[in-house]
Every structure is written in structure tokens, then in C-alpha cells.
A and B are shown apart, each in its own frame.
Chain A
Amino acid sequence: MPHDSHDHDHDHDHPHSLLPSDPALRVKALETVLTAKGLIDPAALDEIIDTYENRIGPRNGARVVAKAWSDPGFAQALRDDATQAVADLGYYGRQGEHLVVVENTPERHNMVVCTLCSCYPWPLLGIPPGWYKSDAYRARAVREPRAVLADFGVHLPEDTSVRVWDSTAEVRYLVLPMRPAGTEDLDEEALAGLVSRDSMIGTALAGAAPA
């Protein structure tokens, strides 16, 4: 029967302890040795960073939500196969290979967490914010979602039930928030402006229509 070497559970045997203790120096040391060995192209690192800093982020998800609000055919396509429906809009890739969209209603509010690590739909929302990756959110979202929502200033009616999705596999969840009242005349672009990142994780509601 295979098993992990118990030695690996001893701190002194963890190779990472050989690196500098300052994390910025630790990254530098790793990049330096990997580059010297021909294993890393620093320009590729720049490219990855530029992608997630500037090109992939929550505006992608907001466009999906706005389209679902204004196009019943697309909303149905999302229910049938969200992965395909968003791929047709050009959103696919790492950490978005299997997508499911969950719809908020007056009766049910959805909220997403990964209690084991930080699983998150990167192609639609980008890299998760710090709080999503924090111990506090990971520990508490499944046990006391309403108290967590209160940390965000969100208070749900008593007759709304909360369904928390713990992303324990490679399926990524996107919350489809409820369309705010009074937005009937808005086009997709204006609607997308009402959709925050947090509303697509379920820790916020979509914004009100502009006055």
C-alpha cells in the first residue's frame, strides 16, 4: 500500500525551509534558480501576470449575468450547459473547465466557498480576492453564512433560505444575482454595471438601478 513518507511531515525535512524566510526573497530565489536551469522564462511570468491583472476579471462574469437578465434564450442556455454557453461568449480556460450557474430567487440565496483551498471560476471572475481565500471565510461560510453575509452588510429576509456551495471538485459555480427592480429599460452594458464581483460569489446583491 503506498503511503506518504512520514518524514515529510517533519518540518525540518520540508524543502521550502531551505529558502529565505522573507517571502519576496523566496520568490526571487525560486525564479532565479529555475531560470538558470532553463525551466522558467521570466517573460512568460510577465505575460501570466498581465493576463490576470488586466485581461481576465469580474467584468467577464458581469457580462454573462447582464446577458442572462436580458436574453431569456441565453438564460436557458446557461441552465442547460453553462460551460458551453459562456464558452460561446469567449470565456473558457484554466479554473473554468466545468461551470454551473446558480440562480438567486426571492426564496433562495446562493453563496460560493471552497473550504479546502480557494477554488473559484477564474475565466469569469479572475483571481479571487483576499477574503475569499482567508481562513475566516473558508471556515465560516458553510456554518454561519448569514453572519458572514452580515460582515458584508447583507441581511436577508427570514423567509429566504441560503444554499452554500462548497467547491470540492473541479466544478466552478457562478451566482446569478437577482435583477434589481426598475432596470427594465437598461441595456446589457448598463446592466453589467450593476453586477459586482461579490454579487457573483453571493456575498452581495446586485446593485440598484442608477437614479
Chain B
Amino acid sequence: MSRVHDMGGRFGDGAVRPEGEGDPVFHEDWHARALALTLAAGSLGKWNIDVSRHARECLAPKDYTAFGYYEKWLGGLADLLVNTGVLTREELAGADAGAISDLAERKLTSDQVAGVLAKGGPADRDSAVAPAFAAGDAVQTRARAGNVMVAGGHTRLPAYAAAARGRILRYHGTHVLPDSSAHGLGDAPEPLYAVVFAASELWLHPEHPGDEVVLDLWQSYLEPAR
């Protein structure tokens, strides 16, 4: 436990406000610019998707709560640019930008955009870790949600799904472990599963006895159900 982003099951957020299907993709021009800037800066190769998610999660809770969606992206991006040495704090603050960066040769050019977006970034990797579970197996999640390698680090086990009993629904193959990858500790690929939980296992007052929640969970988040 836990950072501000981990909000599954939280009370008090009010109604969801649907949008029309024909509404603009970007409600403000700067939203589009923030998204594009984030993708283009990512292609400099100084961080991966897990590092960038962790940067957004590390925003101060009062900022995370106050910021709109793309403001969170911008906050995370600015912090990453400085923390990875791409920019100095002085440059970010608007001082003279100085010389062209050593990273300039990695700049994403407009003719490369289509190829880079089409190529994507698959997360499956070969792994020496053998699958310990098969579809139908009863499992339970770690008693506490958190990164076991890094205090306060990134993890993809939401707090609401800690210490819960479910069953393996589907094996996804071996994937990069974000708990490691977000902290420069390597891909550490391991088996990934879709695990299904009865709503009544997760919530004190489930809406309906037949409802279920599925999460994608890495093998090291799981143990055989006792």
C-alpha cells in the first residue's frame, strides 16, 4: 500500500459521465500536444512504459488528484526528463537551453512516426521461469499488494485484489515483470495469467452474487490456494 493511482473500489467519486461517440478525441489542443510530446520523448529510449507509469504514480497525491489526465502525463514526463538526465532543472525552468543534446540523433522524425506506432512494443519475452499454474487452478494473491523488490515501487497488483482467492482463467505466456522493469532491474520475464475472482471475494457488499472480476497477474503475485 499504496499510491494514489491505485483507486479500484474506492468510494466517493460520483457518477461516470459518458461522452458522445462523436465527441472530439482531444478536448483541447494542448491535450493532443501533451500526448504526442510524451510519445515522441519516449522514443529517445531513456525509459520504458513501466518507468513512465511509475513516474505518474509518484506525483504527489494532491497533484494527482488536482491534475487532469494529460496534466498527469506532463508532470510525469517533466520529472522523467530531469531524473534521467535528458534535461537539467534549469533547462526545464526555462533557462537558455544550451547546446544540442547528445541524444539528438535519436529524435523521432515525422517520417518515422507511422513505423514506430505500427511497430508497438510487445511485452512478451522468453523466460526460464516455468508456468506453475494451469487454467482452472485455484490460486490466491499475495497478502499485501506492493513491490517486494523496491520499497514504494511500482506494482500491478491493485490493493483491492490482495489476499484474494481466485482461479486461473487463461495463460498469457511469459511477460516482462513491471515490478522489476520500472526500476531498471531488468525485464525479469515470468508467466502471466488472467485470474478470475468472484465479486464476493473482493467486496464486502458485492452488487450481484454472480459477478466476477478478472485481473492479469504475474506468477510471483500468486501462490496455490490454501
Question: How distant is B40 from chain A, measured CB to nearest CB, in Å?
Answer: 5
A139:B13 contact, CB within 8 angstroms = yes
A43 CB contacts on chain B under 8 angstroms: 109-110
Q: How many residues of A contact B (CB 8 A)?
A: 91
Asked if B128 lies at the interface with its beta carbon under 8 angstroms from chain A, I say: no
Asked if B201 lies at the interface with its beta carbon under 8 angstroms from chain A, I say: no
Q: Do A33 and B17 contact each other (CB < 8 Å), given the known contacts A38-B101, A45-B37, A51-B114?
A: no
Asked if A19 lies at the interface with its beta carbon under 8 angstroms from chain B, I say: yes
Cross-interface CB contact of A45 among B40, B103, B121, cutoff 8 Å:
B40
B27:A48 contact, CB within 8 angstroms = no
A97:B92 contact, CB within 8 angstroms = no
A142:B213 contact, CB within 8 angstroms = yes
Question: How distant is B5 from chain A, measured CB to nearest CB, in Å?
Answer: 6
A34:B37 contact, CB within 8 angstroms = yes
Q: Do A115 and B175 contact each other (CB < 8 Å), given the known contacts A134-B17, A139-B7?
A: no
Separation of A146 and B212 alpha carbons in the complex (Å): 12
Interface size class of B (residues with CB under 8 A): 35 or more
Q: Do A135 and B150 contact each other (CB < 8 Å), given the known contacts A39-B41, A93-B120, A151-B15?
A: no
B5 CB contacts on chain A under 8 angstroms: 116-117
B216 CB contacts on chain A under 8 angstroms: 166-169, 171
Beyond known contacts A46-B36, A49-B35: 19 more, CB 8 A cutoff: A1-B149, A4-B152, A43-B110, A48-B35, A48-B36, A48-B117, A51-B117, A94-B116, A98-B124, A117-B56, A135-B7, A136-B15, A138-B8, A139-B8, A143-B9, A163-B212, A166-B158, A169-B217, A198-B21
**B→A interface (CB under 8 Å):** 5-11, 13-19, 21, 23-30, 32-37, 39-41, 44, 49, 53, 56, 58-60, 62-63, 68-71, 74-79, 81-83, 86-87, 89, 91-94, 97-101, 103-104, 107-110, 112-114, 116-124, 149-153, 156-158, 160-161, 170, 172, 175-176, 178, 183-185, 192, 194, 196, 202-203, 207-208, 210-218
